[in-house]
Structure 1
Amino acid sequence: MLVNACETMRRAGVAAQCVAKGAMQSTPSRSPVAGGFLLTTSILVGAVAGAVRGQATAGLLVGLAVGLTLAIAIWLIDRARG
């Protein structure tokens, strides 16, 4: 059974008011957007496309650059909305 410190204190009658730090905070009304999927996908697609052309490492690096660009763009857009 998991009990936080405020609940334990309330049961013991020690504290009338208790504000939990972290675990009991309300959830944000808007979920953040994640760009990890685009980063992973672009790296894999770049590596496969590079391997088909005989340059797997170059394809991987191009995929990494494209994925990082997309992930940073998504992060900046999400940050501007929040």
Structure 2
Amino acid sequence: MATRNKAAGGFFLILAIFGGFIWGLMSGLPLEGAVLGTLIGIVLAVGVWLVDRRRG
């Protein structure tokens, strides 16, 4: 029986945190940018998890 590779959403989480932090630095609000990036990253990671779960 072939094993199926699982998708990982952690990449989107890290990318969104860094992106939010960079955006926040440019806006003068680095903490708010990092928090917003974290929330967006969580939504994306959960979305990847749900899609992967549906396929499995």
Q: What is the TM-score normalised by the length of structure 1?
A: 0.65
State the structure with bigger RCO (CA 8 A, min sep 6), 1 or 2: 2
- Structure 2 residue 19 is the aligned partner of structure 1 residue 41: no
2:42 is aligned, of 61, 68, 73, to 68
**Bigger helix share:** 2
Alignment of 1:43-62 (within 5 A): 43-62=17-36
Deviation at 1:27, TM superposition (A): 6.0
Percent identity (aligned): 38
For residues 27 and 50 of structure 1, what CA distance do their matches in structure 2 show?
A: 45
Mark the runs of 5 or more structure 1 residues left unpaired by the alignment.
1-25
Moved over 6 A (4+): none
